[in-house]
Structure 1
Amino acid sequence: MTDRQRVSHVLRRLTFGPTTSEVDAAEKAGLTTTVSTALTRRAAPPEPDIDPPSEPPQDTDRDARRKARAEQNAELSRWWLRQMAADSSAAEKLTFFWHGHWATSIQKVKSAAMMFQQQQTFRRYGTGDTGAFVRAMLRDPALILWLDGQKNTAKAPNENLARELMELFTLGVGNYTEDDVKAGARVLTGWTIDRSTGTAKLMPKRHDKTPVTLLGRTGVNDTDAYADLLVRHEAHAPFLASRLWVRYGSGAAPSAAVTGRLVAAFGPGRSVTAMLQALALDPEFAGTGNQLVKQPVEWVIGAIRQLGIDVGDLDEKQLKQMSTTMRALGQVPLRPPSVGGWPAGTAWLTTSSAQVRLRSAPNLVTLAPAAVASLEQAARTDRLDALARLLVIDQWSDRTAAVLTPAAKDPKRLLALGLATPEYAVH
């Protein structure tokens, strides 16, 4: 693997899709600097123009309420698409990772502002100590609504949040018991949501103050103490290492050696950034090329970035077209299908998805005259190499090259076919 291929591989995984110029800069900077630069924390993005969350008056027409919510949802979706396309660092990719990890859907939450607030929690806490992160998420209004936490009272405990908190978010299956679920639910009783302000509040009268035995510790009756137990549990660091490796590494569970190195990097400070940096620099990471299938959001955002499409210049119809493509491919930001998030791997490689990519790619190409012009300037015999450089693909297979070669005479068609190749879908 050449130095260019190595930094390309890292940037394809850490970000939504590196551009040719970004790979050029990374090749000069070297692997270690490239990883460090990509993971450098960026300033928080400007907020979208979304009104504070509030329930419309009861006498407001139901259709009017539904329309207002739909407009807010669409505004947040468009704003996030612009943000993902504009951020060349790993930050927004990590925000999207957490969105799939702490999977919460706007369809049940019904508040764009609360969903944006959750995103901001991902950005604020998702790069550092998972202790502070888990404490913040247990106060997150969107997550509480999504998992019925507001229904969890001393008189009628609801186990949804406690169960998913341990199974999907912090520890993994087999590292807690049903008694732990029941005890955790009691500890989390009493949280309510004020929709007029979009905030969570602990109501003492609804909270069960009785100390419980939870994860081997007796006397727990506080949300923060529960969060601390979770992140100090011996299963927490290996669980997170596995989740990150599956999404950023090979798509399969990491080896024991990789897990050990990632856990060591995570350290007592429980740093997500340190674990990601160790992942990108791990000796086994270099051999994981062509083992991950791009999620639809990655495919669309990567194409936008590499084709040089300025999302800020797109009109509402064009932005809607991007969202329609992601929906047709089976992934819509803010709407994960379940608390388990989106699938991974070959679930995205279907006959239907291949047809959608073939239909959608020409629409993307029409928005990228500069990318088309760059291929036109290359000699016809050099256009496959120019296409690979533009889309940051290491090399074409003989089979793909045989399909692309006849299209070299038509740069628009060549570019559209390039976006639909296996080499672009799998990285």
Structure 2
Amino acid sequence: MTELDEHAAVRRLIDRFGFGAKPGALAKAQDAGFATTLDAVLAPGTDPGAQATPVPELGPEPEKPSKKQPDPQAKKRAKQELKKQSAAITEWWLDRMAATDAPLVERMTWFWHGHFATSNQKVRSARLMLAQNETFRRLGRGDFGALAHAMIVDPALLVWLDGQKNKVGAANENLGREFMELFSLGIGNYSETDVREASRALTGWLVDRDAGKARLVPRRHDTKDKTVLGHTGNLDASSFVDILVAHPASPRFIAGRLWARLVSATPPPPDVLNRLVAAYGPGHDITALLRAIASEPAFKDSATTLVKQPVEWLVGLLRGLGLRPSQLPEKTKLRVLAGLRGMGQIPFLPPSVGGWPSAASWLTTAAGLARVQTARLLTEASKVPDGTDADAAARLLGVDKWSDRTRAALAKVSGKDLVAVAAASPEYVVSG
């Protein structure tokens, strides 16, 4: 193992526990050192960036036309309003990620969005998606049990995984299965009988879209005894989550998922995983787990590289350039979002309940072209000086050093063009 030097380790911490540094912030963190920076990252204080990007006021849910008396114009208006509200929350979240001075908060919100992957393509409610996003932000660094309890009755997730269709006598297995397989335990840690019984425990929930809340309808809930993972009783949503969170597979699963997003696609070896689980502890403490992850030697291993997801890449570039989407000219903003779509990732629209892919999936030719085009749009909108050279670009983007090949390519351009090329380089696209 080749360990990163202190400056490179701090840069990696800023990248992976956030989205990269704002101008001037990386040098200050490197002067403070890894341990001090880790403490600051894990215990964020006031966040002027968040205060500057308040949650948007969306207004009421778009009114759906009656099925008995369909009104084409009303349907069109509802569709347009949903599109407008969805665009508003997407722009807002990208703004918040770019502006935040407590980047771990947004990084963990982003992580949980990919973990409990819920798409507005089916939910069709910006208000419900925004409420779920706020739940991730509020609970995403504390007790995983509290987050899991909130998510099992989260209105957006209930719509996404057909929880509303789950009623006594006609159980729908989607929510129960995915909650065990993808959200808490992992494959191989439950049986098909557990899925059927869990689905009975989760019967009875409906979503009130106008109120933005889920409610239990007693007559739709199965009150008979169920047995899930060896636990028998009149189980409901809350007791189901208690069983999952207490299961020995759950801490290992959560630790492994965070490791894959923050350290390496290669799973941690048994001794490392045991240390992470010990840090997570009986309190299911996500922040303690994050500290343990950053404290592992592998976190500073130069070989543990990660390909940035498109949103991570875009937000990092926005932060480095001191930009926010809402401050861009409308035409530029729309083209940037189109570029993000071309890379294959838009917030609030994961492709499936399994979330987005990782690693080399983002390194397609089409994604590379979209990155180049988007980088040029952003650098043109920035205040990058005309004389910016390769070394200045490295400082701006938080790159430790350029390969000979990249440096040769950068030697052919300068200023904003150079920074755009640098932002599409392997050294920036891959978090080293």
Give the structure 2 partner of residue 19 of structure 1.
22
| 2:89 corresponds to | 76
1:12-62 deviations in whole A, cap 9, x for unaligned?
111111235221121122212211211225667632121133634535611
1:364 partner letter:
L
Alpha-carbon distance change, 57 to 143 in structure 1, aligned in 2, over 3 angstroms: same
Distance change in 2, residues 1:207/1:41 (3 Å): farther
The secondary structure found in structure 1 opposite 2:306 is coil
CA displacement at 1:416 relative to structure 2: 1.2
Code of the residue aligned with 1:403 in structure 2: it is: A
2-structure distance, mates of 1:80, 1:174: 35
* Amino acid aligned to 1:40: A
Cα offsets for 1:121-151 (capped at 9, x unmatched): 1011111111111111111000000000000
Structure 1 unaligned spans of 5+: none
Q: Secondary structure at the match of 2:355?
A: coil
Farther off after superposition, 385-394 or 159-168: 385-394
Q: What does 1:35-114 align with in structure 2 at a 5 Å threshold?
A: 35-41=38-44, 46-53=54-61, 55-56=63-64, 58=66, 61-88=74-101, 89-114=103-128
1:179-202 C-alpha deviation (Å, 9 max, x unpaired):
110010000000001122121000
Instruction: Normalising by structure 1, report the TM-score.
Output: 0.94
CA contact (8 A) 1:91 1:123 kept: yes
For the residue of structure 2 that corresponds to 1:213, the secondary structure is: strand
- What is the one-letter code of the residue matched to 1:359? Q
CA offset at residue 310 of structure 1?
Answer: 4.1
Measured in 2, the distance between the counterparts of 1:324 and 1:196 equals: 31
**More displaced, 413-422 or 334-343?**
413-422
Q: Distance in 1 between matches of 2:197 and 2:287?
A: 32
Alignment of 1:3-402 (within 5 A): 3-41=6-44, 46-53=54-61, 55-56=63-64, 58=66, 61-88=74-101, 89-288=103-302, 291-369=305-383, 371-373=384-386, 376=387, 383-402=389-408
Q: Distance in 1 between matches of 2:363 and 2:135?
A: 32
Contact 1:78–1:319 under 8 Å retained in 2 = no
Give yes or no for contact 1:4–1:23 (8 Å, CA) kept in 2: no
Partner of 1:419: 423
After TM superposition, the structure 1 stretch with the greater mean CA deviation from structure 2, 30-39 or 53-62, is 53-62
Q: CA deviation at 1:288?
A: 4.9
Q: Deviations over 1:143-187 (max 9, x none)?
A: 000000000000200000000000000000000111110010000
CA contact (8 A) 1:258 1:284 kept: no
User: Counterpart of 1:406 in 2: which secondary structure?
Assistant: coil
Number of equivalenced pairs: 417
Separation of aligned partners in 2, 1:220 and 1:324: 49
- Aligned partner of 2:407: which letter? A
In structure 2, the gaps of 5 or more residues are none
Compared with structure 1, are the counterparts of its residues 10 and 289 closer, same or farther at alpha carbon in structure 2 (3 Å cutoff)? Answer: farther
Shift of 1:289: 5.0
C-alpha distance in 2, partners of 1:159/1:288?
43
Aligned-pair distance for 1:92? 0.5
Cα distance between partner residues in 2 of 1:344 and 1:123: 22
- CA distance in 1 between partners of 2:385 and 2:265 (Å): 33
| Superposition misfits of 4+ residues, deviation over 6 angstroms | none
The CA deviation at 1:211 is 1.4
CA distance in 2: counterparts of 1:266 and 1:341, whole angstroms: 24
Under a length normalisation based on structure 2, what TM-score does the superposition of the two structures give? 0.93
Instruction: Return the letter of the residue paired with 2:56.
Output: P
Deviation by residue 1:235-268 (Cα, 9 ceiling, x = unmatched) = 0000001100111111221221221111111111
| Cα-to-partner distance string for 1:292-324 (whole Å, 9 max, x where unaligned) | 001010111111110122444224333222211
In angstroms, what is the RMSD of aligned CA positions? 1.6
Match of 2:195, SS? helix
Alpha carbons 1:50, 1:113 under 8 Å: kept: yes
Which amino acid counterpart does residue 167 of structure 1 have in structure 2? Answer: E
Instruction: Sort the Cα spacing of 1:42 and 1:340 in 2 relative to 1 into closer, same or farther, 3 A.
Output: farther
CA distance in 1 between counterparts of 2:269 and 2:60 reads 46
